[in-house]
Structures are given as C-alpha cells and as structure tokens.
Structure 1
Amino acid sequence: MSSPLKRSLSTTGRSISPPPLQRKIPRLTEHVSSTRAPPADHLRIFSWNVNGVGPLLQKQLSFSADSLSPLRTFLKRHHWPQFLCLQEVKISSKDTGTQRRLQAAANECASGGEPTYTIEYSLPRDKHNATGFGGKVHGVATLIRDDFGSRLRATRRPDWDLEGRVLIHELDMGLVVINGYWVNGTLDPYRDPETGRVIGTRHDHKLRFHQWMLDEVLRLERPGLHVILIGDMNIARARIDGHPNLRTSPVQHVQNRADFNAKFFTDENGLRAIDIFRHQHGDSRKYTYRPRGKNWGESGDRVDLIVVSRSLVDPLDAVADTDICDNAVDRGHSDHVPLWISLNMSKLSAKQHNRAQVDGSS
C-alpha cells in the first residue's frame, strides 16, 4: 500500500491577464532538454498554462537548420508526448484562423518519421461570464499525437462548463484524461449564464466548479475507469506549495483550499485521489506558477497539479514517473511552467485484458 499523502492545504489572487503577444520565447539550443526519452510503452501527458498562444505561433530558428515554431520546438525537445494539455489558450470561439494556425505550428516542418498532432478545443460559450478581451479569455486545448489517436474513444466538453475550461478524453485502456483550467476565486461578480443576473462571486462559482468536477469524476470511476485530472487548478494545497508565503487572505481563499482538499483528497465520500507529484517527490519544493514581474526564484506557487485515481497507484502501480519543469527555459513566454506524468501502458492494458476475460466468462 502506498504511503499516506500529506493532507494539509491556496489559491492565488491572480486576476485574468491579457495574452503576452509581444513576449518572445527564449532561443533554444539542441542540447537543452528537460525530460528523458521515454520507453516505447509509456504514455506521456504534459500540461502547460500558456497564458495565450500568440508567442507559440512565432517562427524560431532552433535545432540546427530546422525552422520550427516554439510549439513544435517544445514538442520535439520533450520527445513528442502523446498528449499536451494547454490552458488559457485565449482564443475566441469564433477565431477559427488562430485555431488552424496553432495546429499548423504543432506540425510544421515535420520530417519523415516525426509525429504530427491533432488539436481538440474547448473555448468559451458563456456570453455573461467569459467575455474578457473580446472573448479571448480562458480556453483549453489538447494536442493528441496522431499515431495515438486510434486509442481515443471520445473527447467531450461537459454541459456544466460554459467558460471553456474542461476537455474530457476517454481512452480505450480504461483511462480518462481531463484537461482543466479551474476557476480562480475572486470577488468579481458571477452572473447567471442564461439571464445575466448576478448570483454571487467568482469564489462561489469556484466552489460549484469543484462539486461539478467531483461529480463528473465519481461517475467515471464507478464502472472502474481510472482518471487523471491535469491542469491549472488555481489552488496551492499546502504551506510547502507557496513561496515565500501561502496566501491566507482574504479568508475565502482558505475556504476554497479546504474545500478542494476535502472533496478530492480527504473526505470519505470524496474522490480520495492522489496528488502524484507529492506522492513521488515528497517534500520537494518545485512550483508551477512563476510570476514574470519578479526575478526567477523570488516567488512561486504549485497551482498546476496532476491528480490521479488511487487505483492507478494501488493496485496497478502504473505511474512510471512525474515531474515539474521548474526552469526559466520551459516557462517560455508564459507565467507557468509545464508538468508531466508518464504511465506504463502495459500495466493498464493487462488490467483491461483481465477485465475482458472476466466479462466474457460471466
């Protein structure tokens, strides 16, 4: 049995920030790499809050003579993960041109034998609560490697999410990957999506989002599926996850944190899931939010998380590795760094095979 997790429990007070359209991604050299080449039977899922996709579409000369976009450079440098989950893409649902350009950036200059990607989007469709920057607010996108696409049974956008925050990917190995940009609690008003009437604050909406997500994952786990929640959850869970301080004022941030930890980790009727970075790395101090207004290392919060069904750890022992790319190069133009998880697909496939045999003999 796995050792118990630390259960102590932030949200940040970050307001919505505009896309950094003029910010350049650092020029990279061929030897820069933040992750190791994976075994062939591993499924690797990356997550990155990019704070706008504009800089990912720029042309950049790197890796010898290849003229790649920063997005293609990122994928190559990290050995072509099967999934790249992006948050805060800040693309209007009507802006099909940028959507096409992002996919082109993921695939340009693909040489023979190199993977290509298809992108799924969930963009805002709430006319009362997701209108910032001309509708270019929130939004998530998932890049799925084309040679892995046959393993994908379905991608869906839950009806309860109108702000473009959630993509649910169901795989044929009994695994569900949920790419999420979770609500940030603030005192700004939240309006009824149908009438536009103010019905509380963004803090209230954050708590509703927690409940909706919990209900969704519990429904998925009920028939025996394994779930990975990945993305910017806008919660730093414990004192160790904030530097130099964990936010405790105003008090609603403390309440939001306690609600998140209870629903997803500690309550008997909650998810009882595993924060996989803490599970594998103990008290290591790494952060995912690195504000650009301060020198590197002066401030950080671990608000982007990978939360997995307990079954993926015990009994399957399917999580091979996980980490946070806590460095200035991987932060790129954003104010967040990427994080990732690697799964042993053979262990997942063995479980599905055994279940199929049981079902067939009953």
Structure 2
Amino acid sequence: MPVRCSYASSQHPPDTCEGEPVSEPDDFPHRIVDPKPAEATRIASVNVNGIRAAARKGMGEWLASREVDILALQEVRATPDVLSKVVTEFAEQAGAEDPDSQWHVHDHEAAHKGRAGVAILSRKAPVETRTRIGDDRPEDDGRWIEADYEIGDGSLLTVVSVYAHSGEVGTPRQDHKMRFLQYMSEHLPQLAQRSDHVLVLGDLNVGHTKLDIKNWKGNVKNSGFLPEERAFFDTFFGDAGYVDVARSLAGEVDGPYTWWSYRGKAFDNDTGWRIDYHMATPELAGRAVNPQVDRAADYSMRWSDHAPLVVDYNLP
C-alpha cells in the first residue's frame, strides 16, 4: 500500500508519516484512501516515466482511488492514440459506465518518438489548449502544454503541464535546459497577466533550496542544483509572482521528496529530490490545502521513479 506523506510530517521517514491511509486489500496494493472534500478540486502531477510502463505497474489502481479532477503528466513517451487508449483503460479499471466520457485528454507529443511528452487529463473539458512556450523554440518540443478552464465564478484557470530538461553539465543538454528555463522566466509573467489564476505543474528537474535534495552537498556542481539553475526559481517565486505551493504549506522542512533514483538504495533510504512542483499565482495558492506525496510503500511497488504530488484547491 502506498504511503501518503503529508507535508506537515515531512521531517519524518516515510514509514512514520502521520495521517497514513486506510489499509486496502492486498488485491489493490496501489490504492490510497484519502476522501476528497466535497468542495475541493483535486489536482495532481506526476512524471510517469513512460505511460505504458506506468500502466502495467499499477498506475491505474492509484488513479482509480485518488478522485483526481485534473492530472498533469510528464514524460508520457507515447503517441496521442496510445495515450488515449491507456486512459480509456484507466477509466474501465475504475468501473466507469462510459469510459470515453470520463477524461478529456490533451497532449503535446515530442517530435522524437519515445522522448518527453506532456499531457493534461481533466474531468471537465477545457475551453482552450495551447502547446509550446513560443515560436521557433525547439527546446520546448513535447515539454509544455496549457489548458484553460472556466471555474465556478466565471473566472479563468490556466493549468500547465511542463517537463524541463534533465541537463548534463558541459554538454548541449545543459544548454537546452538553461534556454528552456529562460523561456519560462519570460512566459510566466505573461501567463499571469492573461489568466485570472495560473497553476504550473510538473517535473522541473531542479531543486530550489538545500531542503529539496537529501544529498545537496554532493550535487552543488551537478545539473539539478547548480546556482544558475536555482536562480531562475528565485525569479519564479520572486519577481514573477508565483508561489511554490508545496513549500509554502510545508514550511522549512526537508522534502518531502518526489523523485528517487532507481539505483542502489536511494528509495529505501529516502535519498531523494523534490523536483516536482505546483507553482501557483498568489490567490490560487491561498486556496490550496492538503498537499500529499503519494510515495510507494516499498521499492517493488513503484510505477515510476517519481511519486505523484497531489493538492486540493478550494476553487470558487
């Protein structure tokens, strides 16, 4: 059974997290019991590390139990047809009477097959979707999608699913990553001006502070924790006006981490990175409650190297 690590208890190891979920039968090892408040909109984000592999390993069970209204996916690595088929199977697994109507699926497939790819799944149809940050920017291929939703008071909520480059110091991959982060720093203020509320979800492949990486001292010269990368996040959460939702609710505590290497004992020892974010405009951030990292109970039950980050928003 997955362990539901709340941000309020993030200083504890995963096996002592407060507010653990109710046990489910062994037939459903990936399910989590965490009833959604009636007034809340539940929004989740996860890097699936390949949607087909995640589905085979148990993602559908997790999704069926989580009452998610909007789900941002990164590293989908599948064609639109394959993604739609997998999502339909998720709906069938959940016992939906009409699987085709359960999720509205919008994606941005990368030009290079088997790489990147982002998507937004929602129970409600968006009024508009857009891909890419700007024109003639190959660095954002398969890495950015926006969807606009009209919410209860008639205002506009823009949701983004983003997958930043992992980068590698001294290679073109790092150059691509830095350009992509620069594009984000230019686009985010514009997005906040055109929409009433903005929520940027995804794997940004950077730990902002020392609290976001277990072994930060060993990574100060590695991609993911470089000073020049982290400076962009100072801008995102400074002049650009966005709020790091999970961190604002957690306070100054370690993690909780959202990514662990498959190598060695990183997962077992909770030697992780917090590189998955909910970045919100201030009013929207003020409506966020109950942030959870849905960390698997043990290594064998992981369906991705990332864990979903789930937050409830009390939208009008």
Instruction: Give the alignment's TM-score, normalised by structure 1.
Output: 0.69
Q: Show the counterpart of 1:98.
A: 82
Q: 5 Å matches for 1:143-154?
A: 143-145=121-123, 148-149=124-125, 152-154=126-128
Q: Is the 8 A contact 1:103 1:118 kept in 2?
A: no
Q: 1:180 aligns with which of 157, 162, 173?
A: 162
Shift of 1:86: 1.1
Q: Could you say what secondary structure the match of 1:284 adopts?
A: coil
Q: Is the 8 A contact 2:214 2:273 kept in 1?
A: yes
Shift of 1:33: 4.6
Identity over aligned pairs, percent = 23
Q: Show the counterpart of 1:117.
A: 103
Q: Show the counterpart of 1:272.
A: 241
Q: 5 Å matches for 1:1-362?
A: 29-30=27-28, 33-34=31-32, 36-58=34-56, 70-79=58-67, 81-91=68-78, 95=79, 97-109=81-93, 110-112=95-97, 116-125=102-111, 131=112, 135-145=113-123, 148-149=124-125, 152-158=126-132, 159=134, 160=137, 162-173=140-151, 174-187=156-169, 189=171, 201-223=172-194, 225-246=196-217, 247-250=219-222, 253-266=225-238, 270-285=239-254, 286-295=256-265, 296-313=268-285, 317-328=286-297, 332-346=302-316
> Which structure has the greater CA radius of gyration?
1
Deviations 1:90-137 (A, max 9, x none): 12xxx4552342222222243449982132111112xxxxx4xxx201
Counterpart code for 2:65: R
Residues 300/87 of structure 1: CA separation in 2 closer, same or farther (3 Å cut): same
Instruction: Give the alignment's TM-score, normalised by structure 2.
Output: 0.78
Shift of 1:30: 4.7
Counterpart code for 1:103: V
Distance in 2 between residues matched to 1:97 and 1:178, nearest whole Å: 21
Distance in 2 between residues matched to 1:186 and 1:259, nearest whole Å: 17
Distance in 2 between residues matched to 1:71 and 1:324, nearest whole Å: 14
Q: Is the 8 A contact 1:87 1:141 kept in 2?
A: yes
Shift of 1:334: 1.2
Residues 169/142 of structure 1: CA separation in 2 closer, same or farther (3 Å cut): same
Q: Is the 8 A contact 1:51 1:88 kept in 2?
A: yes
Shift of 1:299: 1.5
Distance in 1 between residues matched to 2:91 and 2:298, nearest whole Å: 21
How large is the RMSD of aligned CA atoms in angstroms? Answer: 2.7
Q: Tell me, which stretches of 5 or more residues in structure 1 are unaligned?
A: 1-26, 61-69, 126-130, 190-200, 347-362
Q: Tell me, which stretches of 5 or more residues in structure 2 are unaligned?
A: 1-24
Q: Show the counterpart of 1:198.
A: none
